[in-house]
Every structure is written in C-alpha cells, then in structure tokens.
Amino acid sequence: MSIDTLKICRVEIDTYHENVAYLNRECSIYRVEGFQALSKIEVKVNGTRLLAVLNVVDDNSIVQPGEMGLSQQAFKHLNVAEGTLVTVDHAEPPKSMDAVRRKINGERLSQSDFDAISNDIAETRYSKMEMAAFLVATGQNNLDRDELLYLTRSMLQSGERMNWHEPLVADKHCIGGIPGNRTSMLVVPIVAAHGMLIPKTSSRAITSPSGTADTMEVLSKVNLTPEQMSEIVRQERGCLVWGGTAKLAPVDDMLISVERPLGIDSQGQMVASILSKKLAAGSTHLIIDIPVGPTAKVRHMRQALALRKLFEFVGDRLNIHLEVMITDGRQPIGLGIGPILEARDVMQVLNNNPNAPADLRQKSLQLAGRIIEFDPDVRGGQGYAIARDILESGRACAKMNNIIKAQGGKDIDLQPGKLCYPVCADRDGVVTRIDNFQTAKIARIAGAPMDKKAGIDLFKKLGNEVTKGEPLFQIHAEFPADFKFATKLAQQNSGYSIGDSEQVLQPLIAF
C-alpha cells in the first residue's frame, strides 16, 4: 500500500504464459512492503496494471535496487519504455475465487458468477493453481447443463468475435483422439468447391502426433494474420489455418494450458471449449464428429449420446445450427500418422489415387455431405453424392491447390524420414485390435509433429489377414535418438493384436 516508485527494466528471461517481476532484495520497497518471493504483485503505471509473480534477486547485474525487472512477456504486456516509473503493490486475490469456493462446496453458480470468473481469468488475475481449482471444481458431473451454458457464454464473451457477414458459415470439429484423422483437409476443399463458406481454423498437436495445422503446414503456411485469412476466404470460400493467432475465446486457451498438463478433461469443459471457440470464429453451422471405440476418447455409446445431448443443449441456446455425427473410432483413420505421412494420404484421396486410404475418403465424404446439406438449396440425402461428385471430378483437388497457393504454398516434399523400422506380425492371423493411444505414442516418440517427416505408416488395418513376419507398420524418423526410442517402444508394445477372424473388434454402432 506504499506509493514508492521503481524504474522499469526488461530482464531477458522468457517465462511463457506467466508474468514474472524481479526485485532486488536490497530494494527498500521490498523490505517495507513485506513482499515474499513467489507472491503475486500488481505493477501500476498510468492507469494500467499488470499482475506478476515476484522473484527476489541478489545480483545487481540482473536488477538493481530501485528497479523493477520484468520478464520478456511481462514487459511486453505492460508496454511502457524502460526507465518508466511504476508503483507496486500486493495483488489482491481475484474476487471471483469466492464463486469457485462456493462451487467446491457444491453450490450451483449463476451466469454472473461465470462472467466474473471468465473476466478475472482473461485479465490474468488467476494463477495456474487457481485455474486448476476451478477446473477440478467444475469437472466431471459438477456442472449441470444450465451452468455449462453459462460457462460457454462467459468464455465466448471473454474475447473477440469474428463476423463473416454471411448467413451461413460452415465449420466442422472432431473431439480428437484418433490418429491420422485428417478429414478437415478433405472436407474444406469439397465444401468450398460447392460454394459454401468454410473458414477453418485448426489447432496444432499438443499431446497427439499431429494436428490439422501441423499437417497442413507440410503444404503451405498456416500462421496467417486474421486479415490474410479474410482475404483468402473471400477469394476461395475456405481456408485451413492455425487458430492460434486470433484472440478468440482466450479464456479457453488459458484453461487448456492448465488442463493439458494435469491430464484432466471433462465432457462439460470440452463442450464449453469447442462451442465458445466456434462461436467466436463466427460459425453458424457446425458438424461435431465424436469417434467412439475402446481406445478413443469416448468409449461407450451411452457416453457419446450424453455428449451429443450436451452439445445440442448448449448449441441450440447460443444460436448455432449444430449436428453431431457419432463415428467409428476403433482404429486410426487413413494409413499415415505424422505430418508428412498424413499429407500424403490427403493428397492421394484428392487425386483419386486407387491406393488412397478408403476409410479416410469415406469418412470425409460423409462429413462433407452433411455440411453440404446445410445448404437450403440441397435436398435432404443428396449431400453425400454431391460431395463425391466434387471429389471425383477433380474440383476438390483444384480447390485445394488454390487454397495451398493462396496460403503461400511450399515446395511439397512428401518423403517420410529415412530411418525406417518395420514392425512385423509375430503369428499368422488377422488384425483384431489396433490401439489408438499406442500408435499415437510411437509416432510421437519417433519425432512427430516437431519433425514433420517422423511418424508411422500403417500397412494393415482391422480385419486384414497377416502372416508371421509380415510388416504391420513401419516407423519413420530423421533423428537417431528418436528412432531408437520409438523402435524400442514398438518392440515392447506394437499396439496391434493378431488373432482369429471371429475376435476382430466389431464397431459399437453401424456407421
């Protein structure tokens, strides 16, 4: 509560999402205020304020007494010149933590509670542990569906919202968990070739071997400004870019940065995350893909149905036209897993190559068909045939080439990593199971997605016959250390089960 001033200086330390302030231990303000290392402080200048974690420094070459050092991120956020005088104070805990504590105690929260929480998170008033407390308190079945609606609405309102000035803005989203599942790269050119607007933003891989943005990056740039994206969408009706540059639903990103390392996710938070992002992106019509299978994110039909109802409940109340497709999540989609191998599969389907993976083609046509049926001029049931016609006629491929070119197309090199190791069947039989987690893990350890050429190439899928010693899949890598670890992991557990034909894992539903 003192009003002494300190001089701002930049400390060349990168602290990522966290603002860190450095104060010399000999600084008089440090002693008078009774600050403690790791306590949260508020730095104030000209009516703006920055919250930061305090580190105390005993080296005058880093910060001197009388200076307030800021990490690179904190310096950028405060946005004042070095030498500017600032005041510093203890930061008050965020007021909305009261609501979080009420939730921990089992109470139901209101729209204004969620708004206050989202606001405080957006203003970086929450520490990571406070976000963790919020996520656990609202996880599992701790939110009823009205609360979920409030949460989604408050997350949506925390950031900017795009407006495409068209009545129908199509989008698709898969809840994830299935390696190789690059349907967006087929759905976008098909739907855009039909003339519908589909400005697709995708994520990079966080725990998977490749995200759509990682795979698309093999073919073109994906890191475009919102202005570049608008320009391309106006021209081509579609795009395939990374969603990280726009400030859409920033609270979602901040919660995800805690959720991922904790390995917690709940259906409610997934629904709020996806719908707040899609609404912020200006989508009006959305297909959600929920793969179901024993090694998918959703393992039982009853779970998939409950999730579908949640999406429908929230989507209907936030005015997005939303349809859910429950799909076959028993095994990876396509043959390649990893950016270059997946890009190869996509290009083969677009080129109508007879070797193209049939499952990737089929699923993409189904999704594209459903989106095309959002078009009021298309008769119900005709979407699939229209999508297939666009693909077979080469119009999807031409559209994709235009999008690639508009996004700054690269010299395309689809050669996977030159270090190869085939993983072979240990008996005669048929493939009865393929573990999504294990195949993803092997591809990731081989270096995907950082190393675009790394990954695995599947030769056999569920139900295929194999003979002892025949390759099931091949590992590709560029770096010897990665190659060694991936090979070792595959030797311990290939993710494949070989058995008799009657043991083949059956779909949970006729897809």
Active site residues: 265
Number of residues in contact with a copy of itself under rule CB under 8 A? 53
Residues 6+ apart with CB under 8 A from 488: none
The footprint of a copy of itself on residues 140-159 (CB under 8 A) is 140
Q: Which residues contact 336 (CB under 8 A, 6 or more apart)?
A: 180, 342, 343, 344, 345, 416, 455, 456, 457, 458
Residue pair 201/246 in contact by the 8 Å Cβ criterion = yes
- Site mask for a copy of itself (CB under 8 A), range 38-77, x = bound: x----------------xxxxx-xx--------xx-----
Q: Please give the Cα distance from 458 to 360 (Å, whole number).
A: 13
Between strands 321-328 and 285-292, the pairing is parallel
Query: Minimum CB separation from a copy of itself for residue 249, in Å?
Result: 21
**Using CB under 8 A, which of the segments 9-17, 152-160, 237-245, 323-331 binds a copy of itself?**
9-17
When asked if residue 481 is in the footprint of a copy of itself (CB under 8 A), the reply is yes
Residue 139 interacts with a copy of itself (CB under 8 A): yes or no: yes
C-alpha 326/C-alpha 211 separation (Å) is 20
Give the span between the Cα atoms of 385 and 392, in whole angstroms. Answer: 10
As a dihedral over the C-alpha atoms of residue 328, residue 329, residue 333, residue 335, rounded to 10 degrees, the angle is -120
Binding segment for a copy of itself (CB under 8 A), chosen from 261-269, 295-303, 351-359, 463-471, is 261-269
**Lookup: tokens for 147:** 């609360």
User: Is the Cβ–Cβ distance between 196 and 231 less than 8 Å?
Assistant: no
Q: Does 108 bind a copy of itself (CB under 8 A)?
A: no
Measured in degrees and rounded to the nearest 5, phi and psi for residue 472 equal: -90, -40
Does position 131 interact with a copy of itself (CB under 8 A)? The reply is yes
Which residues are bridge partners to 286 per DSSP?
171, 322
- Looking only at residues 239 through 258 of this chain, which bind a copy of itself when binding is defined by CB under 8 A? 258
Interface with a copy of itself, residue 424, by CB under 8 A? no
CA atoms within 13 A on the CB side of 14: 1
Give first-to-last CA distance, the chain, whole Å: 64
- Judged on CB neighbours under 10 Å (0-12, 13-18, 19+), 439 is buried
Q: Which residue carries 């519908």 as its tokens?
A: 196
Query: What six digits make up the tokens of 121?
Result: 């998170």
Separation CA 268–CA 116 (nearest Å): 19
Q: Give yes or no for residue 491 binding a copy of itself (CB under 8 A).
A: no
The tokens for 503 are 């043991």
Is 13 a binder of a copy of itself (CB under 8 A)? yes
Site for a copy of itself contains 382 (CB under 8 A): no
> Is the CB of 127 or the CB of 203 nearer to a copy of itself?
127
| Distance of closest approach, residue 68 Cβ to a copy of itself, in angstroms | 14
Minimum separation from the CB atom of position 460 to a copy of itself (A): 29
* Burial zone of 469 (CB within 10 Å; 0-12 exposed, 13-18 middle, 19+ buried): exposed
| Options 19, 118, 127, 220; binder of a copy of itself; rule CB under 8 A | 127
Q: Residue 349, SS3?
A: helix
- Least distance CB 140 / a copy of itself (angstroms): 6
Q: How far is CA 380 from CA 132, 224, 273, 366, in A?
A: 45, 36, 30, 13
**What are phi and psi for residue 481, nearest 5 degrees?**
-65, -50
What the block records as the tokens of 177 is 């968990």
Would you say 134 or 311 has its CB closer to a copy of itself? 134
Q: Work out which of 68, 74, 78, 137 binds a copy of itself, going by CB under 8 A.
A: 137
DSSP letter for 165, please: S
Nearer to a copy of itself, 13 or 80 (CB): 13
Provide, rounded to whole angstroms, the least separation between the CB of residue 188 and a copy of itself: 29
Q: Give the shortest CB-302-to-a copy of itself separation in angstroms.
A: 16
Interaction mask 429-468, a copy of itself, x per CB under 8 A: ---------------------x------------------
Nearer to a copy of itself, 262 or 412 (CB): 262
Question: Binding to a copy of itself by residue 16, rule CB under 8 A?
Answer: yes
Shortest distance (Å) from residue 18 CB to a copy of itself: 6
The answer to whether 197 touches 170, Cβ cutoff 8 Å, is yes
Question: Which residue among 47, 81, 83, 129 contacts a copy of itself (CB under 8 A)?
Answer: 129
Part in contact with a copy of itself (CB under 8 A); list of ranges 33-41, 230-238, 395-403, 415-423: 33-41
User: Kind of pairing, strands 40-45 and 48-57?
Assistant: antiparallel
Give the x-and-dash track for 187-226 against a copy of itself (CB under 8 A). ----------------------------------------
Question: Site for a copy of itself (CB under 8 A): which residue of 398, 485, 499, 511?
Answer: 485
Across the chain, which distance is largest between two alpha carbons, in Å?
79
Stretch touching a copy of itself by CB under 8 A, among 6-14, 146-154, 171-179, 280-288: 6-14
Interaction site with a copy of itself (CB under 8 A): 1-2, 11-18, 20, 22, 25, 34, 36-38, 55-59, 61-62, 71-72, 93, 97, 101, 104-106, 127-133, 135-137, 139-140, 258, 261-264, 450, 481-482, 485
